[in-house]
Every structure is written in C-alpha cells, then in structure tokens.
Amino acid sequence: MSAPPVPYMRHQCHGCGHASAATDFRVCPGCGGPLSLESLARPPRAIFEQRPESLWHYRELLPIPEGVAPVTLGEGATPAIEADRLRARFGLNRLLLKNETGNPTGSFKDRQVSVGITHARHIGASTVVAMSSGNVACSASAYAARAGMRAIVLVHGHAAPAKLRQAAAYGGQVVRVPTDSSREVIDLCIRASEEFGWYHLTTAGMHERYNVEGAKTIAYELYQQTGGDLPEWVVVPVGGGGLLGAVWRGFEDLVRLGLIDRCPRLCGVQPRECAPLAQAIDRGWGFRESLAHPWPAPKTIAGGLADDILFDGHTALPAIRETNGLAITVSEGEILEGMRLLAATEGILCEPSSAVVVAALAKLPPESNGVCCVITGSGIKDLDAFAGSAAGPYPAATTLDEFRALTGGAG
Ligand SMILES: [Zn+2]
C-alpha cells in the first residue's frame, strides 16, 4: 500500500534537509532518518476566522487529498478555557486550558487517528494495527468501527484496564504484549503489518508520518481561540514526543502563512520515572543519540507517557531547542496532586498522563507571560489512579441530623 502524492505536501527530513513529493520512501533517502510531512498549502485567511466544527475545517493543511471523505466523529474544535482559580494558585498572570478530554473517545489521539484511518481507508486498507498504552487503542477501535474496518491493538504493561474495556467495546481486538517496552511492541506491530498487509496506525512519527498531522490542528485552534494573542508558553505532556513536535509544526505553519511572528515557547513534561526527552535535552543529544539510549524500565502511573524512546524525537527535540523551550520532569506524587488540583479547582478530570502539565506549572520561570496547558485525556478512563478522599469509602447518612453532622449544615 503506497499513497498517491498530495500535490501540496512534501516529505521532509529534519536531519539533512531532504524534501520531496515522492511518497514511496519509508525513511530519508539522504541520511536514513525519519521523514515528516510539510504542507506548502496557502489556505485562505478566512479559515482562521470561521469557527471550526471539527479538525477537518483545516483540511487544506492536512495530508488527505480533496474529494476523499474523512472518517470523522467530530474530533477537534475543543474549548480553550481561562482557568482563573488554577492561575491564582500558581501566581500566573494568565492560564488557558486546551481541554482535549471532550474528544469523541476522550483524548487528543482522536485527532491523529481520524487523519490516520482516513489515509488508511484511502489507500485501500481494511485492517489497522497499532501499539497503544490505551488511548490509541480506544481511538483506533472507535474510528475503525466508524469506517467499517478492523482494528487490532497491541498493548503493553502500562495500559489502564478501563481503556482496554473501552477499546474492546468498540469492537477492537485487544492483544496484550507482556513487556514494559513500547519499542518492543512497535517492532512487533511493524512486523505484523508487513507480514499480513495491515495498515500500521501507531502514533509514532518515526514509523508512520500521516496520523501525527492531525495533532497540528491544536496549534491552529489556539491561534483562533486567542485571536492571535498567544501565551508565552504552551505546555504539553511528552511520551514519544509526537504531540510536542506536532504543536511546534502547527505553529510553524502559522509563521509560514504570516499569521504569527514566532512560535510560543514550548515546554514538554515527562514523569521523572520515564524522561528520555529531558535526558536528551540535558545532555545535548540529537535524535540518533537519544534512540541509542532507551529509558531503562519505565515505571510511572502516567501510563500514556511510559515510552522508553522518543519516537518523534526528530521533531520533539527541535521543538524545545528552536523555541527556547524547556523539558520538565515531575514526580509521581506531583502528578497525582496535579490530577486532584485540576479536578477540584477547574472541574476538569484528567488522566495522570495529562496531569503532568499541571504539576509543571510550579516549575516554569516566574516571570512567564501567559501559559496554555494542553489537557490531553480524560481521567474517567483512569480513575483507579485517584487516591485519597476521592477513592472512598464515602460516609452514609439517612437523617437530617446525620447530614448536619457530616457537612456542617447551612452555607
Ligand atoms: Zn535526511
């Protein structure tokens, strides 16, 4: 299965600068590194003035040719809300939350899977296979159902049980691979896709460069939702680094189109227990060196971030370096506290893999001029992570006196 060229897209290497319209290279013919897509399209300014109904509003910047029907459940077009109570808690002058929990299956991965599965169907695939810690499993299974296709999801040891039940409910075939290494599961995925002719839908840009394009639309939406008055920082969770790289490339599209002068500073956040991005930044490593140093035995409650290597390091590392950004790590305790704080101050229940961005707010430079946190996935899928009072047991009452004793009564 190879894709017909899309006239306005180039396949570009961030390593040696190679760029071409040809679609049949799996890796860069110049240096053997991964390729990513780059749009040359110049859509009318009006698309940034009309409110989007889904990410397909921006289809001229996506790698799906005109006339191809998207596989869509209404993904994207998520709210960006001012978070005044949380802002005050951290002494910030402005805090926006880009709330991705409202996507059709509860995470930002729907943006990527909608684009990826549309591409898969367009080139004639009937089965998709993906490695997942849970969110991609749900998304791939739901969108495959929508498209009348078959989804097979390979999950590693960090997957939350509720996510696997959700994926299976959509009809996805869930297969456990008993390892803690994302790299090993992806290798198996790639071999299965080659042997059986399945479309490889894993959201790891170094192996599959189409689906990650869907995540760029978060940058386009933020530009519109702020009227172009973007915050100094955009803070995103990092597992393989695909979201970080995509948000950077989305803002770079806006620079190319003359809509903004420069990309906001980008901050990638990882659990301290699995931090290959922070390690590569600290040590000055490039993509190849980072690949040569997988994180040994990741162990974190943020299962969506438990990737032992940066599958999108070719875009995630320059996203930090070229925007004068930061890679921040947070402890397991800080992640749980971030999850509790976001729910209790702003009414948004996120999963541990999203809560890292709340924990990072205390670690940004104090003079920061505006921050946007991307809240990537719903906590409803991972409630077992919740400890403390929210986990129960809950007291019982049947009389008014008992209610008064429990709650303090009026007020
Ligand atoms: Zn190259």
What's the rounded Cα separation, in Å, for the pair 215 and 118? 14
pLDDT of 384 reads 79
pLDDT at res. 388: 62
Residues 265 and 320: their CA atoms lie apart, in Å, by 8
pLDDT score for 3: 72
**Is residue 56 predicted with pLDDT exceeding 70?**
yes
CA of 190 to the centre of ligand 1 (A): 21
Give the pLDDT confidence score for residue 69 in this predicted structure.
Answer: 97
Asked whether 337 and 359 are in contact (CB, 8 A), the reply is: yes
User: What average pLDDT does the segment 219-231 reach?
Assistant: 97
178 preceded by cis ω (within 30°)? no
Q: pLDDT at residue 86 above 70? A: yes
Distance 45 CA to ligand 1 centre (A): 32
- Name the CA radius of gyration of the chain, rounded: 21
Position 1 scores a pLDDT of: 63
Rounded to whole angstroms, the maximal C-alpha distance in the chain is: 77
394: CB partners within 8 A, 6+ apart: none
Between the CA of 17 and the centroid of ligand 1 the distance, in Å, is 6
pLDDT band at 157 (very low <50, low <70, confident <90, very high): confident
**Could you tell me the domains of the chain?**
80-106+212-389 (3.40.50.1100)
Q: What's the 210 CA to ligand 1 centre distance in angstroms?
A: 18
Dist. CA 352–CA 332, nearest whole Å: 9
The residue that leads in pLDDT, 378 or 383, is 378
Checking if the pLDDT of 181 tops 80, the result is: yes
Question: Measured in angstroms, how far is the CA atom of residue 309 from the centroid of ligand 1?
Answer: 20
pLDDT in tens, 230-256: 999 999 999 999 999 999 999 999 999
Residue 5 has pLDDT above 90, yes or no: no
Mean pLDDT to the nearest integer, 104-114? 98
68's tokens: 């191809």
Residue 177 in tokens: 């691979």
Q: Is the pLDDT of residue 21 over 90?
A: no
Cα of 34 from ligand 1 centre, angstroms: 7
pLDDT at 373 over 90: yes
pLDDT tens readout for residues 259-308: 999 999 999 999 999 999 999 999 999 999 999 999 998 999 999 999 99
For residue 328, give the amino acid letter. I
Please, what is the average pLDDT of the chain? 94
